[in-house]
Amino acid sequence: MSRAAIARYYYAMYHSMRAVAFFHFNGDDFEAHATLHQKGIPKDYPNASAAANSLRDARLLRNEADYDPYPQMDAYFRDAAKRISQTARDFVAKARQYLLNKGNAHL
């Protein structure tokens, strides 16, 4: 279940940043997984480079968990899921706070 958890945490991060991008860019949400961390994070987003790195790293981990033809042992993914758990929670909270600060009343 750790590999599935990694995917869920990544998608929480991905969709929260898509919401930020959609709001900031007035509809252009840079939905491509490989480019969201490069083009979809607003320049005024708090610590944008750290957010970009976290999102990129989560995507790479999710790809490894889902698509690697020779995946790591279960213990590796269990530890990775524990690490990304808090990262994802913080990431989503920051995205939500950004949207609230920008006046999005739909949260």
User: Is residue 51 assigned to a domain?
Assistant: yes
Q: What is the longest distance spanned by two Cα atoms in the chain?
A: 46
User: Is residue 43 assigned to a domain?
Assistant: yes
**What is the residue range of 60's domain?**
2-101
Question: Mean pLDDT throughout 9-25?
Answer: 94
Q: Model confidence over 62-104: pLDDT tens digits?
A: 999 888 776 667 888 899 999 999 999 999 999 999 999 998 8
Average per-residue pLDDT for the chain? 90
DSSP string, 53-64: HHHHHHHHHHHH
User: Is residue 16 assigned to a domain?
Assistant: yes
pLDDT of residue 93: 97
Please state the pTM of the whole predicted model. 0.89
Kindly tell me the sign of the dihedral angle through the C-alpha atoms of 19, 84, 68, 55.
positive
Q: How many domains does the chain have?
A: 1
Q: What proportion of the chain, given as a percentage, has pLDDT over 70?
A: 94
User: Is residue 106 assigned to a domain?
Assistant: no
Please list, residue by residue across 67-85, b when 16 or more beta carbons sit within 10 angstroms of its beta carbon and e when fewer do: eeeeeeeeeebeebbeebe
